[in-house]
Each structure stands twice: as structure tokens, then as C-alpha cells.
Structure 1
Amino acid sequence: MGFCLRVGQLLSTCVSFSLGASLGIWKESLANWCMFIWCLCFAMSLITSIVELCGLQCRIPCSWDGFLHAYSFHFGIICIVTSLIFGTSYIQVFSPGPAQNRAITATALSFVATLLYAIEVAWVCVRPGDMVCFVPTFPGVLRRLENYLACVIFPFISNTDLYQHQPALVWCVFVYSICFILGVVNFLVNGCDCDNDQKLPLRLPVLLWVQTVLSVLLYATAVILWPLYQFHEKLGGQPQRSSDMSCSDQLTTFVGIWDQRLVVAILTAINLLVYVADMVYLILEAFVWTEAQPRDSGFFSPAVSSPTSDVP
């Protein structure tokens, strides 16, 4: 079952990339991002298939089912975001004909890849193994949301013209990247049950505190600097959408540069609120709630687990 799903993932992402590349839109940052994601999904599915075919998963010091669940969930979200961005940005750009048909087919196959990743998540939950199912905890939902919002931000900052002229905006891109990497590391450590490995230098609660507090501080700077340097005229920004010629150019994409700036500013503010809610939850859990109350600071609470599993 897993092998069949991964063959479908390989085919759908490979064909989506090939069709997108054949449209000749390499100069478009959103198109480049979409094709990068399809390449990344293809590469990860290929590596996962090779690991399983060679039986190397037994040598990995963490739960393989946990890794498959975390990997499939993240890539499913990334694929659906990519499908929506590519479809809404490029299908209507081309007039009816072969080019538009290729754009439609690439979008459809990207949605197929999303479906296959979702099926793999469900399959990992129901098949016999070390972990039978996962129930997302409340803080786990918050931390997933943090990563998913970052996944939506990245396509819009793939256009380097948005930030490469200002060091403050480059700092914002660094903030989005480092917070996302920290979130993925924590997700994998918890979801793959790597926290049971005594070789790890830091335990999961410490990692969660470091990630959450650091992310709140970093996002607080980005939520100020990004709109300040993007929309303040004295700092080189464009306060009005009408002043951006790319928003009226219908030959490339329906999402202009000014629109991308606005979307990133809104998503940055939303993600900061999510990080603050996550930090408040950690503070309440550590200093207010009593030990007798249930604690669910991890990403998952396994509904059914093996006797050796102690994933929070």
C-alpha cells in the first residue's frame, strides 16, 4: 500500500513539474516556488521508497511510522497550498489552448499528490505498528498552524525583489525561515518519538520552550519591520496598490508584488498571534495549572500506542 501510494506521488509530482516547466514561466517567482515544491516532494518520496525497499527504516533511531505521519502531513499541506497558488495564478493567464490545458493538468495532478499524501496519513494511522493512531492535542494544533502559515508565506517571499534591497526585510525572511525550521525539528522530534532517544542533548519540553519564546521575539520584529519597509513611502515602500505597475499587468499573474507584500504582512501578524497563544499555553501549563490536571504539551496524544511508547 505504501509503495503504491509513493509511486503515485512520484508520478503526479514529476508530471506536474514537467508540465509547469513546459509553460516557460521560469522568470515568475511563484512558478519557481511551485516547481521547487514538486521537485522536493518527488525527491522525498523517492528517498522514502528507497529506504523502505532496502529495509533501512529499522536502523533509524526513531519511529518510522511517526516519521511517515509527520512527513506526509506536512507535504500534503504544502502540496495543496502549491496547487491553489499555481492554479489561481496561472490557469487564467493563458488563453484557451494547449498551454492552458497543461496548466490545468499540472494543477489537477498536484491536487492528486495532496490526496495521496492524505491517504498515506490515514494509512499510517490504521495499519498495525508501533503507533496505531494520532490525536492532535490543542498545543499540537497550534504548532501545526504555525508551520502551515509559514508554508503559505514562503511562496510569496520567493520573489527576491520584495526584500533584497533592504537589510531589514532580509531579516524578516530569516525570521520566517528559522522559525519554520525550529517548528519542523520539534514536530519531527515529537512525532517520530525521537524524544525517547537518550542521546539527544535536549529534551522535548526544553526544545518547545526555546522554539516558542524565540519565535515570538523574532516574529515581533518581523510584524513591525515588514509593513514598515514595504508600505512606508519614506523608507522606500509603496503605500498604495495603484502605484505598483505589476498589479495592473495581466500578462504574467493576477497576484501583483504589492498584493504579495500585503499577504505576507497579514500572515505574519496572524502567525505572531498563534505563537503568542502557544506561549501563553506553555506558561499556564508550567506555572498555573496543577500537576493533577492533564498535560498535553506535545504535538500528538496517541489514541492507541505500544507499551514502550511515551509520546506526550
Structure 2
Amino acid sequence: MPVILGELNVLTTPLSLVRVSEIVCGCVVFSLVASGSESISSDDNFRVFCMFTWCFFFTMSLLILLVEFIQFQSLIPVSWKNLPVTVSALAGLMTLTASVSFPWFVVKENKDISAKMIMATIFSCLTFVFYTVETYLLKSQDAEQRGYMASAPGLLKTFEVFGGCVIFVLASEQREGFAWWRTLVYCCCFLMSLSTIAVMLGDCAGRCLLPFDRILAAFSCLSVLLYTSAAVLCIYGYVQPKSKDLERHLFCTVITFLNLLAYSVDLAFSIRLLCHRV
């Protein structure tokens, strides 16, 4: 199939206008933060997380907009029904986290908070709104235009990956208690969810040796068991006298329980799918 240059009216659709808004706001955010970075601690994990989020999803939104304008989808070896909604949903979640964590963990430690940092937070919140609107528009498309990642189980997979990313940042400096086991749990579950998304983006579900719905059910069941143990250990960590940085530990516990809920609902969807196919 030949590559066809798109017409200008492609850029005037509601979806394209939302993406242009994401790109503009994202560019403004990381430009403001980069220009005022001399007043922020450079070794803070959340500053790195925020900058990565803004820059990475700015790049992804720009690439998706260009691909759809040039109509280059047929030459890209990914499922275009699944890629845009995966990017927008993950971008919305991570941008929301960046919008909250930037002023909370990064800027609050600086005595001199400049107008640039305030404007960066505002534009980050606007970027989150635009990503949310894009996800809604993609999920509202006709059934033949939507893929697995636009369904409830697919969005849950995106949330699980997002939760894993945030937990890695929060738990990176924790050493007390059974931190090694919780880290192992987070890594295993993150990789299982990420591999599921990779299979869907590569449109490889039909090539698996085992029925893919059974693999999903097994992944969800194992993740629920593992996250249950991690949630118990998170609560146990509060009674440890050597616990440090209770603020981060609290956020890590909250995200752990949210991910446990996501995996539990995901397991319910998988069981329901298996029952319908029996």
C-alpha cells in the first residue's frame, strides 16, 4: 500500500486538534522546567520522572500526529487500533502524576518558587486534560476502529503498567523490611502487564502456543496473589522503627492497593471471558 500524503483537513478533526494541543502544552511544560532547573535539585527521582513523562509523551504525540497525517500506518509493524489509545491513556495517567508530584515533591523543597514553575504546573494539568479527552475520543470510536486496548481490560493493563512505573520511583530508595520481596513482586507483575500490551500492539495474540485468554487469566491470578503479599508487607512497613520517609511509603502503599484492585478487576474480566467461551 503506497504512502499517501494527508490533506490539511486531517489536522482540523477534533482528535487532531486535541493532539496539537497536547504537543503545544507539553513543549511549554518541559521548556519552562528546563529553563528554571537551576533552582531544583537535580538528583530528585521525581524531577527525572516528570521530565521523562513530559518529553517522552510529547515525542509520542508528535509522531502519532505525523503518522496519521502522512497516512503511514500501513508501514508500521504495530496495531494502529491499539497504539494511540495506549499512549494517550498512559500519558494521561503519568501526566496527572507529574502534575501532582512536581509541585509536591520537587518544587516544595525550594524556598524561591518562580512563576515559571507555577506556569509549568498549570500547563502540565492542561496536558493531562487533553490526553484524557483524546482517550475518551478514541474509546468512543466505532467498534471496528477500536482495539483491545480501548476496552476495559486493555485500559486496566495500562493502569497496571502506570502503577508499576510510579511504584518504582517511590520505592527506589526503600530498604527496610521485606523491600526486596516487594520489588520482586512489582517487577514480575509489571513485566507481565507490559508483555501483554506488547503482544496486543504487535497483534501477536493469535500466534501464541496457548490460548491467549488463558494466559491472561493466569497472569491476572498470579498478579493478584503477588500484589496481595506486597500490600500486606506495605502495611507491615509502618510498624518498623527504621522506616524512613513515611510520606513516600504512604504513596507507595496507596498505589500498591490501587494496582491490587486493578488486577482483581482484570482477573474478573478474564474469568468472565473464559466462562463465555466454554
Normalised to the residue count of structure 1, the TM-score between the two structures is 0.66
Matches within 5 A, 1:253-268: 257-268=245-256
1:86–1:107 contact (8 Å) kept in structure 2: yes
Amino acid at match of 2:229: T
Match of 2:120 among 93, 106, 122: 106
1:17–1:106 contact (8 Å) kept in structure 2: yes
Distance, in Å, in 2 between the alignment partners of 1:56 and 1:135 is 21
Distance, in Å, in 1 between the alignment partners of 2:27 and 2:261 is 37
Distance, in Å, in 1 between the alignment partners of 2:215 and 2:17 is 36
Richer in helix (by share):
2
Deviation at 1:262, TM superposition (A): 2.2
Change (3 A) 1:116 1:201: farther
Q: Aligned pair count?
A: 262
Query: Which residue number corresponds to residue 57 of structure 1?
Result: 73
Change (3 A) 1:202 1:70: farther
Distance, in Å, in 1 between the alignment partners of 2:158 and 2:250 is 23
Change (3 A) 1:100 1:170: farther
Unmatched segments (≥5 aa) in structure 1: 239-243, 245-256, 293-312
Distance, in Å, in 2 between the alignment partners of 1:136 and 1:51 is 19
Describe the superposition over 1:38-64 as per-residue Cα deviations: whole angstroms up to 9, x where unpaired: 122123224434544554311345541
1:146–1:271 contact (8 Å) kept in structure 2: yes
Matches within 5 A, 1:222-301: 222-228=230-236, 231-233=239-241, 237-238=242-243, 257-280=245-268, 282-283=270-271, 286=274
The RMSD of aligned alpha carbons is 3.7
Distance, in Å, in 2 between the alignment partners of 1:125 and 1:186 is 19
Distance, in Å, in 2 between the alignment partners of 1:126 and 1:267 is 28
Deviation at 1:186, TM superposition (A): 2.9
Deviation at 1:25, TM superposition (A): 2.3
Amino acid at match of 2:117: A
- Asked if 1:43 is matched to 2:59, the reply is yes
Change (3 A) 1:210 1:4: same
Aligned-pair identity in percent equals 25
Query: Which residue number corresponds to residue 176 of structure 1?
Result: 186
Query: Which residue number corresponds to residue 27 of structure 2?
Result: 14
Query: Which residue number corresponds to residue 214 of structure 1?
Result: 222
State the SS of the aligned residue for 1:162: coil
Deviation at 1:66, TM superposition (A): 2.7
Normalised to the residue count of structure 2, the TM-score between the two structures is 0.73
Distance, in Å, in 1 between the alignment partners of 2:27 and 2:67 is 20
Change (3 A) 1:61 1:283: same
Distance, in Å, in 2 between the alignment partners of 1:283 and 1:128 is 26
Amino acid at match of 1:81: T
Amino acid at match of 2:250: L
Matches within 5 A, 1:136-175: 143=157, 145-150=159-164, 152-157=166-171, 160-163=172-175, 168-175=178-185
Amino acid at match of 1:172: R
Deviation at 1:285, TM superposition (A): 5.7
Deviation at 1:178, TM superposition (A): 3.4
